Structure 1
């Protein structure tokens, strides 16, 4: 008997919403407000435009735009045709963006004037959303029902590429179906929820946790402008979101900003991800704004999230919470055997959200996908209640005179100083000890601190072998496009002779 493949549940979201509640709000971006019916119509219109350029099932569609509604409608339009989408960070150089577009075999680039020039250079089609003439509806008809099926590739998300060329993470519709369903269950999302989209839409977090999950639950998405401490709380008070997701740097900036009365009554919770957030900062944010902060952990390779602290029930600041519904998380030794509770090991993940693999890279895929488990490369500890703490990256381990040092221990000590906004610790080669830790610190706006003060703090709070050889105080530290500190640049600086 031939099995009939079902239409992707996530690809059908615009049309399911339009049928159930056509006049309910769906997507807001500045002055643009789309209800469910208008959202479905916009998806159909963009699908027509994509089809007119030759996009068909199995193709890839590149999108290079700053955060705006068209990224979301294009994603669903691509899925409507059975195609995938690869979101391109507009901050990339033409060479970097061209690599992603070429590597993903994108047949069309949706963008602005710059995108049109790049597409012409690459010899592919382009849809310029800023060209009002081309915005007119085209004659080609598209199928009424989305063509995408569960095993079809939905997103090609590129890793940050801090140590090598970025890799394309292949997420299929079944991955996104499982991830969005898990987040809806964990956060108890419903039609009453509104997501304030703070994080970039060229990253899986913004697309899946910030967009796909609330839309699946019947809620609304508000695309926020570029983050600023001067305007952020005004957006919260105006749009009344029930949650948003941000990175530790954003929370640190909110914590350092001048105090004013803020109406946070609409917020049910705030999410932190992308990098570990100091427990002290979580406590300060919760006490100051009266909203739970739920820190989570995940990777693009697991369709964004693996563990998150619960909203209701015990939240443990300093941990990244418990495994999400439908996922298994374990901590293993180098041979792949689970370690005892409370001991360090590599974090591994199993479940329907784990990627199909890296695009065109079978060897790299085989290195991280073993026996159905994704090996994260992160060092973690599981406690007796199943809460995960991320200790560090395996590759970031510093061995000083035979003693193992996890940089996060030093970073946590530095974060405890009230002037410290960001801290990063990397290893530097040493002719005697093999390697020594060197710290880089950025201060909060208007605050100052000396290297000597921070070294004294480390000497008081850490074992002697963990105290950094040096601490460099700077105005800012290098970060990638999603706000995660890029230690590779700091290592390169030290390697080049910096001290």
Structure 2
């Protein structure tokens, strides 16, 4: 198979009756998947899509989204998946910025020009014409101004999937349960493309619910799923009386945000399933480091670099640093994006001399495992001292009553900034703010202790599930 676009044909030729893709309403064999992709390619072609165009897809997680992806690639077009939860202006911005020729979605949806139901209607067959250029335009979460379109080429996807398949040891027996959104590169690469390329299958779960998810795992019998720390925290918070059969899971994967080592321990002790934590970003086509499946896994790190990539630590002057020294994490390899769509200035700031600058602070330990310190922009400067919120959060997680924690800097007239911790208390736990402050004083230097603890029922999150610290900082200013 020369091109990812040829996957539906290759899988159908090899084992036409094997299940390959499913959601709550549909189960497709490889032959049925190929047929659906060919019909959808015909519908897109009839709507005007040609090689080099962009197709916007505004759909929740469902089989049709994956069908549309492969149909567009069959025509040589790229796809920009749009979060259907965005408001109309945000959706229109992404459609316009990406230059989409056709917008696939539900009837009446913002900007929709092709009804998703039309993808399955009979049409004249269209010759396949895969192209080697852009495959995906993934929009960043927009924490600094308008979201930027990350252009990922087919070569990026091919390289990234090969790395994921090798690192996770995926094969034809693997069954991925997709719970992350398909407008994010993790969901597309780790939970769909990689298992399908390895000969396995994917089941698309409905919108995540902590109360029903474990029963879904028991019923569907996946071999793995990929999730964010918030999902693991919600699963750990489920009543102890729930003892689902999770024996089908060989490992589970955590990405998108650093996971506290204490949360990893709680999940593994509770469910007996190993968590493989990795690190990456959309601009690097998903992942750059991963704790080894076969070990040793080191909670508190995000593992060594994936084979085929170079991950290093750089100081502000562009010098590479040695083990144990902290600086910006930079990445080089075939997974690095083509650039930001229509934004050469931002591209030039982000990719310098072939190095992708991540904006994350980290260091390598003596074994070559990457330890993330924090985001550069999240650093708090308290009276001239640099504080990293992640260190304070990790200290809070060591208290058994803390379910989740997020630390942000708030303005202070004397010190400039001080750290404030927003804390979600574990179910049925009883603890006071003063107790948590005393706990922090026992494990942190005095200048790192939060100026205040704010108890909250839940933490704000962005659409991918990361804690939205921008919103927490805004709340502190408003308050």
Q: TM-score range by the shorter chain?
A: over 0.9
Q: Give the whole-Å Cα distance in 2 for the aligned partners of 1:442 and 1:486.
A: 14
Structure 1: 5+ residue stretches without partners: 1-6, 120-124
Question: For residue 252 of structure 1, what is the aligned residue in structure 2?
Answer: 233
State the shift of 1:26 in Å: 0.5
Q: Give the whole-Å Cα distance in 2 for the aligned partners of 1:49 and 1:18.
A: 21
Question: For residue 401 of structure 1, what is the aligned residue in structure 2?
Answer: 383
Classify the secondary structure of the residue corresponding to 2:35.
helix
Question: For residue 479 of structure 1, what is the aligned residue in structure 2?
Answer: 461
**107, 130, 145: which is aligned to 1:147?**
130
Matched, 1:329 2:311: yes
**115, 128, 134: which is aligned to 2:115?**
128
| Count of aligned positions | 478
State the shift of 1:363 in Å: 0.6
Classify the secondary structure of the residue corresponding to 1:106.
coil
Matched, 1:363 2:357: no
Q: Give the whole-Å Cα distance in 1 for the aligned partners of 2:206 and 2:322.
A: 46
Q: Give the whole-Å Cα distance in 2 for the aligned partners of 1:146 and 1:307.
A: 34
Classify the secondary structure of the residue corresponding to 1:12.
helix
Map 1:173-212 to 2 at 5 A.
173-212=154-193
Classify the secondary structure of the residue corresponding to 1:226.
coil
Q: Give the whole-Å Cα distance in 1 for the aligned partners of 2:122 and 2:357.
A: 46
Matched, 1:373 2:339: no
Q: Do the aligned residues in 2 keep the contact of 1:47 with 1:80 (CA within 8 Å)?
A: yes
Decide which moves more: 19-28 or 168-177.
19-28
Q: Give the whole-Å Cα distance in 1 for the aligned partners of 2:426 and 2:82.
A: 31
Matched, 1:22 2:4: no
Classify the secondary structure of the residue corresponding to 1:113.
coil
Q: Give the whole-Å Cα distance in 2 for the aligned partners of 1:160 and 1:75.
A: 21
Q: Do the aligned residues in 1 keep the contact of 2:250 with 2:273 (CA within 8 Å)?
A: yes
Map 1:281-300 to 2 at 5 A.
281-300=263-282
Q: Do the aligned residues in 1 keep the contact of 2:304 with 2:369 (CA within 8 Å)?
A: yes
Structure 2: 5+ residue stretches without partners: none
State the shift of 1:156 in Å: 0.3
Q: Give the whole-Å Cα distance in 1 for the aligned partners of 2:307 and 2:445.
A: 39
Question: For residue 222 of structure 1, what is the aligned residue in structure 2?
Answer: 203
**Residues 393-445 of structure 1 deviation map (CA, whole Å, 9 limit, x = unaligned):** 11111111111111111111112222322211111222221211111112334
Question: For residue 423 of structure 2, what is the aligned residue in structure 1?
Answer: 441
**Residues 186-208 of structure 1 deviation map (CA, whole Å, 9 limit, x = unaligned):** 11111100000011111100011
Q: Give the whole-Å Cα distance in 2 for the aligned partners of 1:147 and 1:262.
A: 44
Decide which moves more: 448-457 or 320-329.
448-457
**C-alpha RMSD of matched pairs (Å):** 1.4
**245, 266, 282: which is aligned to 1:263?**
245
Question: For residue 90 of structure 2, what is the aligned residue in structure 1?
Answer: 96
Q: Give the whole-Å Cα distance in 2 for the aligned partners of 1:252 and 1:33.
A: 30
